[in-house]
């Protein structure tokens, strides 16, 4: 019985070893190019959001100044009491300005991090284009019916 299993394993082994699904080509040039393009796209998105946050901050500052100065001048005349609408008119632009300021700082940091990432992947992409060698990863099954063992051998081809 063990001899029959050995013969079947030896007959099947070449078929499994040449199976195209078991051999995968790894292209580092394409990988680094995709990572570069992905990070560059995210960088442009971060820059756009950062600019929106900056101008929102500026708008909040202008609105806060336009509302706060007349309110401050009016409270001096009336004796220091603010109505509810005046409080809302002062607090809302300041809240918008504070949120936009935090968002601007956050996206400024994200922009710096994303820039370093896409520059890193660009350098790796350029280096991999210069040394463009292909690498193949192969998996060959190992069957040993005499000892009752089985497994796989990983093969790298450069």
Q: How far is CA 122 from CA 11, 33, 133, in A?
A: 47, 7, 18
The CA-atom distances, in angstroms, between 79 and each of 50, 75, 82 are: 41, 6, 9
Angle in degrees, 0-180, between the axes of helices 28-78 and 84-130, rounded to the nearest 10: 160
Alpha helices (H) in the chain, listed in sequence order: 2-17, 28-78, 84-130
Task: Report the predicted TM-score, pTM, of the whole model to 2 decimal places.
Answer: 0.56
Percent of the chain residues topping a pLDDT of 70: 64
Instruction: Report pLDDT digits (tens) over 6-57.
Output: 555 555 655 444 444 444 445 778 888 898 999 999 999 999 999 999 998 8
Phi and psi at residue 75, in whole multiples of 5°?
-70, -30
């Amino acid at each position: 019985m063990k001899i029959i299993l050995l013969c079947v394993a030896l007959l099947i082994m070449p078929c499994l070893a040449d199976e195209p699904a078991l051999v995968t080509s790894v292209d580092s040039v394409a990988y680094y190019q995709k990572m570069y393009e992905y990070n560059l796209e995210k960088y442009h998105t971060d820059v756009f959001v950062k600019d929106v946050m900056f101008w929102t901050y500026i708008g909040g500052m202008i609105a806060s100044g336009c509302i706060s100065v007349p309110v401050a001048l009016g409270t001096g005349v009336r004796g220091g009491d603010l109505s509810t609408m005046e409080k809302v008119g002062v607090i809302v632009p300041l809240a918008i300005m504070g949120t936009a300021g935090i968002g601007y700082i956050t996206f400024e940091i994200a922009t710096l991090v994303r820039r370093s990432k896409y520059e890193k992947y660009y350098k790796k992409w350029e280096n991999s284009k210069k040394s463009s060698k292909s690498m193949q990863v192969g998996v060959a099954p190992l069957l040993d019916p005499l000892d009752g063992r089985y497994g796989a051998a990983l093969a790298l081809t450069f």
